[in-house]
Amino acid sequence: MVAMRGHSADGELVARARAGDDRAADELAVRHVRQVWRAAYAITGRPDLADDAVQDGFERAFGALDQFDVSRAFAPWITRIVVNRALSLVTRARLTEEFDEERHPAPEDDLATDLEVVDALTRIAPERRVVVVMRIVVGFSPQETAEALGIAVGTVHSRLHRGLADLRAALEVTVS
């Protein structure tokens, strides 16, 4: 599919979904669900919460498609919505329990993230965790991350640097 003038790669699908085309909305979800689920899982450390964050995030996004700027990339926008929802769920769940692989098993497919890393990520401050996830797990550029989170690129670099240091420290405690 060729993007329409002034539209991002997903802009045509967004325009069609706005007009009530359910197949276009489904295609948007299919294109982005794996990536945003990985981000939600890395934030929450729990498949059940990641599932909830993704479902609620897509519902919110599709309810607000009229606010989406079709000249921008859809991936950072949907990722920001899902990541914010994941952070809300983590805060509400008050993850004070030890990570339990039997209670919260990782998926068996290629999306599975190493459980020790996910456990360590859950111990990083949320504002740093989000940047680490978006840059390292999702693979967004500093600019895309900044746009998605509504922060300056310099803040992305700072939070990434501190977040990775926190992650290293958390992993050393886990490995010891």
Report pLDDT digits (tens) over 5-55: 445 678 889 999 999 999 999 999 999 999 999 999 988 888 999 999 999
**157 falls within a domain:** yes
Report pLDDT digits (tens) over 76-129: 999 999 999 998 888 766 444 444 555 545 555 433 346 677 778 888 888 899
Report pLDDT digits (tens) over 114-153: 667 777 888 888 889 999 989 988 889 999 999 888 899 9
**What is the span of the domain harbouring residue 45?**
11-175
pLDDT at 126: 87
The count of domains in the chain is: 1
**53 falls within a domain:** yes
Tell me the CA distances in angstroms from 8 to 4, 72, 109, one per residue in order. Answer: 8, 5, 30
What is the sign of the dihedral through the CA atoms of 149, 20, 13 and 37? Answer: positive
**132 falls within a domain:** yes
pTM above 0.75, yes or no: no
Cβ 111 vs Cβ 71: under 8 Å: no
| Alpha-carbon dihedral angle through residues 12, 64, 144, 5, given to the nearest 10 degrees | 20
- C-alpha 2/C-alpha 101 separation (Å) is 44
- C-alpha 59/C-alpha 17 separation (Å) is 13
pLDDT at 72: 85
Which CATH number fits the domain that encloses residue 134?
1.20.140.160
**51 falls within a domain:** yes
pLDDT at 17: 94
**3 falls within a domain:** no
**4 falls within a domain:** no
Extract the tokens encoding 99: 């990570």
Alpha helical stretches, state H, the chain: 11-18, 22-44, 47-63, 74-93, 115-121, 126-132, 142-149, 153-175
- C-alpha 89/C-alpha 60 separation (Å) is 15
Tell me the CA distances in angstroms from 62 to 33, 77, 151, 156, one per residue in order. Answer: 13, 11, 24, 27
**84 falls within a domain:** yes
pLDDT at 78: 95
